Amino acid sequence: MDATTLFIIGIVAAAGLLAIGVFTVAGGRPKDETGITAPLDRVALQRDRRARRERAARSAAAVAVLSPPETDEEYDGADEAPPPVDPMLERTAVSASQLGVTRRGFFNRALLTVFGIFLGQFAIAGLAFMWPKLGEGFGSPINLGNLNDLRSEIIQGDGSIVPTFVASAQTWLVPMPENAIAGSSFEGLPVVIGAGGGEPGLMALWQRCVHLGCRVPSCVPSQGFECPCHGSRYNFHGEYEAGPAPRNMDRFAVELDDADNLIVQTGQVIETPRASTKTIQYPQGPSCV
């Protein structure tokens, strides 16, 4: 699965999570705009009315006691006077939008905001992780220099191999003889470049151990790569030899530019299975771990 596919999957996943969050929160909000006329609110309203009537009655009685009628006319009209009107009893229902932000609405919006911020951060971090690097550096094509210069640097006068490590590409450069390619795990893959005319090609092995990702150092005495973490071993073609590693060392696609410079496509990692037939002898001397 390449970086573009991962990127698209990330976008779709983030959009799906956002949609689920919005519908979940929005679905919990009251659909009835006249929120305070809901059953629970009517019960509360009736209780309020009753309490206010009782208070109004007590007030009227107190006024009557403090201000007794002084004339016969007042005595006659006292029983006919209308009871005092409590303005609070003349309350009318208002809609939720008229009422403003309800407590439920406030919490819903707060929850949606927090969820949105979290989702946004998650999406940005995910995209930053999956976004293919288009500039220079690891993840993009890296020019390692002239093929012949690299080859002579790696292959010693006695025929032994001293792999060249290129930190910017996280790569061990190793030679691959032309006659060893056919029938190997690498046949038909763009992982060997420059083989021909009796000269070996070069391969770019990823320094990362395929077991749990430790950096794998080379071991010139044994002519292999030996992982110090859990003891996985690979020969100088990166083929699995021993230990818990599940496959050969991973490698990058390679190509030559017009000036015979080796270009390593560090964004294009190629995995190969453990090889039943090895293309180079290992060990050729004492181990380093």
Token pair in block for residue 207: 């320094």
Q: Which is nearer to ligand FES, 52 or 211 (CB)?
A: 211
Q: Is 211 in the site for ligand FES (CB under 6 A)?
A: yes
Least distance (Å) between residue 162 CB and ligand FES: 21
Check: CB of residue 266 under 8 Å from CB of residue 171: yes
Q: Which is nearer to ligand FES, 117 or 212 (CB)?
A: 212
Name beta bridge partners: 206: 171
**Phi–psi pair at 40, nearest 5 degrees:** -60, -40
Choose which of 166, 169, 209, 264 interacts with ligand FES (CB under 6 A). 209
Q: Is 217 in the site for ligand FES (CB under 6 A)?
A: no
Residues 50, 54, 57: CA angle, nearest 5 degrees? 140
Which segment (1-9, 133-141, 211-219, 278-286) binds ligand FES by CB under 6 A? 211-219
Least distance (Å) between residue 138 CB and ligand FES: 19
Q: Is 170 in the site for ligand FES (CB under 6 A)?
A: no
Least distance (Å) between residue 264 CB and ligand FES: 22
- CA dist., res. 209 & res. 229, Å (int): 9
Q: Of residues 240-269, which lie at the interface with ligand FES (CB under 6 A)? A: 243-245
Q: Is 229 in the site for ligand FES (CB under 6 A)?
A: yes
Q: Is 232 in the site for ligand FES (CB under 6 A)?
A: yes
Q: Is 289 in the site for ligand FES (CB under 6 A)?
A: no
- CA dist., res. 254 & res. 186, Å (int): 12
Q: Which is nearer to ligand FES, 99 or 214 (CB)?
A: 214
Q: Which is nearer to ligand FES, 142 or 245 (CB)?
A: 245
Query: How far is the CA of 80 from the CAs of 4, 17, 63, 197, in angstroms?
Result: 88, 69, 16, 125
Choose which of 227, 254, 262, 275 interacts with ligand FES (CB under 6 A). 227
Nearest to 243, CA basis, from 280, 282, 200? 282
- Cα 263 to its chain centre, rounded Å, is 30
What would you measure as the largest C-alpha separation in the chain, in angstroms?
138
Q: Which is nearer to ligand FES, 22 or 214 (CB)?
A: 214
Q: Is 190 in the site for ligand FES (CB under 6 A)?
A: no
Query: Can you tell me which residue has the tokens 């990702």?
Result: 213
- CA dist., res. 192 & res. 254, Å (int): 7
Tell me which residues touch ligand FES (CB under 6 A).
209, 211-212, 214, 227, 229-232, 243-245
